[in-house]
């Protein structure tokens, strides 16, 4: 059987904003947790996220029409202020290795994960067909997510247009902190930079950025994963080109080394 991650889904141009993850040391200082490359992607890629656009699931493209997002389209998943489970699509995986995909958890694992921790953001798959954005960046979409990487159900009349199911995977190299002293009260030491120790406030932004009708052509094609490359119908970049395509950091705070406060807390 094909391992879920032996196959890369279509990774296109898009933009995501993820907050920094930190390890809280017993003396109260923080260190940033680096992200690492997924093993589904070609070797040599430095960090980054893996972005999936699935028509149905990992095993079939199905046969329903999937409509590409239009130019200028945006949406978000999750809410930074959430203190309980916000959406079915926001998940965490305690990695044994980079191919671990189950079980998916609703909050940060509390045990030490030898392969790190993966954050998964599944976006909604039904669009109202009219608005490329909305004031809360979410109400133009309808969340049909059944479960991780499971086909979205039928779209409701209010949001009738079935769009690609977008999912982000981010792998955090938390394992490098497993030999440091951990809290003795059974809690886990990782915290998102806005002070979230549970992960309920995890969130992601999506901005459509595919060239021309490339995404629509991919959705109309029966190709899956790497078989979509080499002009059938997409072109892919080599790792060196991918690594060179970086967004300049817009963070104006110190992030390396020992931090006395969480970055982004306005202190």
Ligand X SMILES: *[C@@H]1O[C@H](CO)[C@@H](O)[C@H](O)[C@H]1NC(C)=O
Interacting residues with ligand X (CB under 6 A): 25, 27-29, 96-97, 99-100, 258, 260
Nearer to ligand X (CB atom), residue 46 or residue 97: 97
CB of 51 to ligand X, least distance (A): 22
Q: Which candidate, 90, 87, 64, places its Cα nearest to that of 162?
A: 64
Question: HSE (CB half, 13 Å, CA atoms) of 212?
Answer: 6
CB of 260 to ligand X, least distance (A): 6
Task: Collapse the DSSP code of 220 into the 3-class scheme (helix H, G, I; strand E, B; otherwise coil) and give the result.
Answer: helix
CB of 180 to ligand X, least distance (A): 10
Strands (E), 1-89: 21-24, 30-32, 35-36, 50-54, 74-77
Nearer to ligand X (CB atom), residue 67 or residue 99: 99
User: Residue 249: CB partners within 8 Å, gap ≥ 6?
Assistant: none
Residue nearest to ligand X (CB): 100
Nearer to ligand X (CB atom), residue 29 or residue 139: 29
Nearer to ligand X (CB atom), residue 6 or residue 64: 6
Radius of gyration of the chain (CA): 19
CB of 150 to ligand X, least distance (A): 19
Structure tokens belonging to residue 266: 């306005």
CB of 94 to ligand X, least distance (A): 9
CA 36/CA 47 separation, integer angstroms: 4
Nearer to ligand X (CB atom), residue 27 or residue 184: 27
């Amino acid at each position: 059987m094909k391992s879920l991650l032996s196959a890369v889904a279509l990774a296109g141009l898009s933009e995501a904003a993820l907050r920094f993850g930190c390890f809280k040391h017993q003396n109260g200082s923080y260190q940033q947790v680096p992200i690492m490359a997924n093993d589904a992607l070609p070797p040599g890629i430095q960090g980054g996220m893996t972005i999936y656009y699935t028509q149905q699931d990992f095993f079939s493209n199905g046969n329903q029409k999937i409509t590409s997002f239009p130019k200028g389209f945006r949406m978000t998943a999750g809410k930074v202020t959430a203190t309980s489970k916000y959406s079915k699509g926001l998940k965490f995986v305690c990695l044994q290795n980079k191919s671990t995909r189950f079980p998916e958890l609703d909050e940060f694992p509390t045990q030490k994960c030898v392969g790190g921790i993966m954050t998964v953001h599944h976006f909604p798959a039904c669009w109202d067909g009219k608005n490329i954005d909305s004031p809360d960046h979410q109400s133009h979409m309808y969340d049909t997510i059944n479960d991780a990487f499971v086909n979205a159900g039928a779209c409701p009349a209010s949001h009738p247009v079935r769009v690609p199911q977008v999912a982000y995977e981010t792998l955090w190299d938390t394992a490098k902190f497993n030999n440091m002293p951990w809290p003795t009260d059974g809690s886990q030491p990782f915290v998102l930079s806005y002070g979230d120790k549970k992960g309920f406030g995890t969130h992601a932004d999506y901005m459509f950025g595919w060239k021309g009708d490339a995404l629509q052509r991919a959705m109309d094609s029966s190709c899956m994963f790497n078989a979509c490359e080499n002009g059938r119908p997409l072109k892919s970049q080599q790792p060196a080109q991918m690594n060179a395509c970086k967004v300049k950091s817009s963070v104006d705070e110190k992030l390396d080394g020992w931090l006395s406060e969480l970055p982004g807390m306005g202190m």
